[in-house]
Chains A and B, each alone.
Chain A
Amino acid sequence: MAFYDGLFNAFGLREWCDASAGSAKMTMASLLAKTNPDAADDGPLFPFPSMDELYKACPSFPQSREFTAGVEEAFLNAKDVLKTVLDPLTQPLSWLLEGALFIFLAAPWWIVVPLILMFVWYVCRSVAVTTFVTVSFAFLAFIDHLDAALQTLAIIAVCTGICIILGVPVGIAMAKSNRFQRSLLPLLDLLQTLPTFVYLIPLIFLFSVTEPKLYGIAIIVYAIVPVIRLTDLGIRLVDQDVVEAANAFGMSSRQKLFGIELPLALPNIMAGVNQTIMMSLAMVVIASLVSAPGLGVLVLRGIRNLELGVGLIAGLGIVLLAVILDRVSKAAIARVSSDQTFK
């Protein structure tokens, strides 16, 4: 009947196959075939030996939907253990995010915005960039999007901070050990290529959707890659002649790291931070699906309710934030680089 019947017969497995005949769940296809036996389709002439195709020939063989169910079950079994370990470990992230969101919103605008502008001036010392940021904030406030923008900014600030705290040491370790670099690179590649929605699926099972750490983790995991990669690269690119001189004068590894390697790798690390910020922003919009507040929520509302204007204005706000973050971090890189040589 089925194409691969002969295969199982040849191995003498017919008995094992038929032992469980009829006990398996019915599929949609077989249900349709039952109601309309004439339309039964024999399928292609030479079907690929897939799980479903082999199941047709041998009812004891697992179907591919059992494979999917198996993966799910394995994850659900591991869930409790994972949750006991990860929950307390990531709880500070929830507190940080809640705290940052609270401070950004509870403080009056005439304190928060000037503080942000002072910070901008401090990191980039550029009149043009500071003016641009001021005008952008004024515009966002004028169209009543300031609170949402500040929420988005608060989440980005917390997540980027944690990315730097975790990513720079990992990058340093990668630069110091070729073996560690080789073993970590595939993971970084995976994180960079995994579709952003796929991150959210296991996280939703692990944590409650109302917890800020859910989107916090998603953003950090997605955005941490560039800062790791560019720290690694930056340290590896430090002029070997200078490192040799440091060795010749008897510098310890610690003195080399803080006195030479990190300062000289700083422009590269900052470029990584710039990328991390931009990726956090991209993720924070998607994270509004799992209760992240901010401009993303408005975009989502625009899509869900077909409120075109709301979605477009929120989108414009995100673009504005993106330009602000990019310009400020690039200006900071330029300032750091000009303190060093231009070779």
Chain B
Amino acid sequence: MVNSPKIEIRNLYKIFGSDPKTALEKVKAGMGKEALLNDTGHVLGLQNISIDIHESAITVVMGLSGSGKSTLIRHINRLIEPTDGQVLIDGEDALLLDQDELRDKRRTDMSMVFQKFALLPHRTVLDNSALPLEVRGVSKSERHAEAQVWINRVGLGGFEKHYPYQLSGGMQQRVGLARALTSNSDIMLMDEAFSALDPLIRSDMQRLLLELHVELKKTIIFITHDLDEALRLADHLVILKDGAVVQQGDPQSILLTPSDPYIEAFVSDINRARVLRVRSVMTPMDKKSKYAGDVSPSDTLESLIARSEGDTSSKFRVLDGEEPIGQIDMQDLVKALVPRVTEAGQQHL
């Protein structure tokens, strides 16, 4: 199999209202979100979304509130039914599943982590984490043993007998994570999972998620409104605005070549030195240059600035393992740090 995507979303539309089919025709004929709302009272949730979500990668969907990102993630496990389009999971159309098949799919193939944690308040941490297995009918001792492993893994060992209300927000979301992991599904849907946490805890949780990802290689779809978080986690970044995809691709390339004034405005506040990596800025080798040192393509520009001690005239050789693959000129690096903002982008600032 030639690396076909784990989940393919094809031309997905969602319209909220009493008669979405008629409204859909108008949208396909080119009516915009506001015109639709004024003329028919229907809300355009998603329009013509097509995304490939690859196996074992973290796909981050980013957008401001109201951009439809939470609606989008709920289409993958069909908590929301689409108006039109396809969602293929492992090549199979999830929209054709009947209620029983859908339930089985939710039980075994996907798990979800929620912004507001959504733990069962009347159950202990252990019982909450064991929920996915309980739903499948696994015996108590077996599911508790499995849940215990993941509770320990997310750093909550010793809290099994606590109730959710006895835990802080960060700890509650660790339970949410443990619950998703206990289900042992390939796909993890994370709906603004860390948005309700304060910055330090959030950064801890991001680190935990990245560690777990390296270890478990799950297919993760992560929703966020925070660009820093998106850039830190994303293998593939999708930016939504008003229910439509504005730009998607490698986060580094989005940062360097934003396709839209909206995104320019978005990315201009970012600490680019910390996010951009050498491989995004490097140029082909020219034989004549003298190099001040060797760097790895995945080093951040920030670390390079520190190494060069601010000397913009120096150049570094980029080594991928032992093999030289390019060079990086400190002058290019400095240019890359300045965000490209067009006139139109200015207006969004």
Q: Which of B106, B110, B116, B163 contacts A241 (CB 8 A)?
A: B116
Given A245-B112, A341-B165, the answer on whether A250 and B118 have CB atoms closer than 8 Å is no
CB-based contact A248/B79 at 8 Å: yes
- Residues of the A chain whose Cβ atoms lie less than 8 Å from the Cβ of B71: none
CB-based contact A242/B79 at 8 Å: no
Chain A interface bracket (under 10, 10 to 19, 20 to 34, 35 or more) = 20 to 34
CB-based contact B135/A249 at 8 Å: yes
- Residues of the A chain whose Cβ atoms lie less than 8 Å from the Cβ of B179: 249
- Residues of the A chain whose Cβ atoms lie less than 8 Å from the Cβ of B79: 244, 247-248
User: Does B121 make an interface contact (CB < 8 A)?
Assistant: yes
Q: Which residue of B has the minimal Cβ distance to A339?
A: B122
- Residues of the B chain whose Cβ atoms lie less than 8 Å from the Cβ of A244: 79, 114, 118
User: Does B33 make an interface contact (CB < 8 A)?
Assistant: no
Given A255-B135, A342-B165, the answer on whether A250 and B104 have CB atoms closer than 8 Å is yes
Q: Which of A241, A251, A259 contacts B118 (CB 8 A)?
A: A241
Nearest CB of A to B163, in Å: 7
One digit per residue, 1 when the CB lies within 8 angstroms of any chain A CB and 0 when it does not, for chain B 84-126 equals 0000000000000000001111111011101010111110000
Given A263-B122, A341-B165, A342-B165, the answer on whether A248 and B77 have CB atoms closer than 8 Å is yes
Q: A244 CA to B103 CA in the complex, in Å?
A: 13
User: Does A129 make an interface contact (CB < 8 A)?
Assistant: no
Q: Which residue of A has the minimal Cβ distance to B132?
A: A249
Question: Would you list which residues of chain B between 249 and 266 have a CB under 8 Å from chain A?
Answer: none
Q: A190 CA to B191 CA in the complex, in Å?
A: 46
CB-based contact B112/A340 at 8 Å: no
One digit per residue, 1 when the CB lies within 8 angstroms of any chain B CB and 0 when it does not, for chain A 293-316 equals 000000000000000000000000
Q: Which residue of A has the minimal Cβ distance to B111?
A: A249
Question: Would you list which residues of chain A between 271 and 301 have a CB under 8 Å from chain B?
Answer: none
- Residues of the A chain whose Cβ atoms lie less than 8 Å from the Cβ of B189: 248
Q: Which residue of B has the minimal Cβ distance to A242?
A: B118
Q: Which of B102, B122, B183 contacts A249 (CB 8 A)?
A: B183
Question: Would you list which residues of chain A between 223 and 273 have a CB under 8 Å from chain B?
Answer: 239, 241-242, 244-245, 247-252, 255, 259-260, 263-264
Q: A255 CA to B131 CA in the complex, in Å?
A: 11
- Residues of the A chain whose Cβ atoms lie less than 8 Å from the Cβ of B112: 245, 248-249
Nearest CB of A to B294, in Å: 48
Q: Which of B77, B121, B132 contacts A340 (CB 8 A)?
A: B121
- Residues of the A chain whose Cβ atoms lie less than 8 Å from the Cβ of B120: 242, 245, 259-260
Select the residue from A242, A255, A263 with max chain B CB neighbours within 10 A.
A242
Q: A241 CA to B79 CA in the complex, in Å?
A: 12
Q: Which residue of A has the minimal Cβ distance to B165?
A: A341
User: Does B164 make an interface contact (CB < 8 A)?
Assistant: yes
Q: Which residue of B has the minimal Cβ distance to A264?
A: B122
Nearest CB of A to B181, in Å: 12
- Residues of the B chain whose Cβ atoms lie less than 8 Å from the Cβ of A343: 121, 165
Given A245-B112, A249-B183, the answer on whether A341 and B132 have CB atoms closer than 8 Å is no
Q: A298 CA to B34 CA in the complex, in Å?
A: 73
CB-based contact A245/B103 at 8 Å: no
Q: A143 CA to B113 CA in the complex, in Å?
A: 63
Q: A343 CA to B102 CA in the complex, in Å?
A: 33
Q: A264 CA to B122 CA in the complex, in Å?
A: 7
Given A260-B120, A263-B122, 20 more A-B residue pairs with CB atoms under 8 Å apart are A239-B121, A241-B116, A242-B118, A242-B121, A244-B118, A245-B112, A245-B118, A245-B119, A245-B120, A247-B79, A248-B79, A248-B106, A248-B111, A248-B112, A250-B102, A250-B103, A252-B103, A341-B122, A343-B121, A343-B165
Instruction: State the 7 A-B residue pairs at the shortest beta-carbon distance, nearest first.
Output: A250-B106, A250-B107, A245-B118, A341-B121, A341-B165, A248-B112, A241-B118
A residues lining the B interface (CB < 8 Å): 239, 241-242, 244-245, 247-252, 255, 259-260, 263-264, 339-343
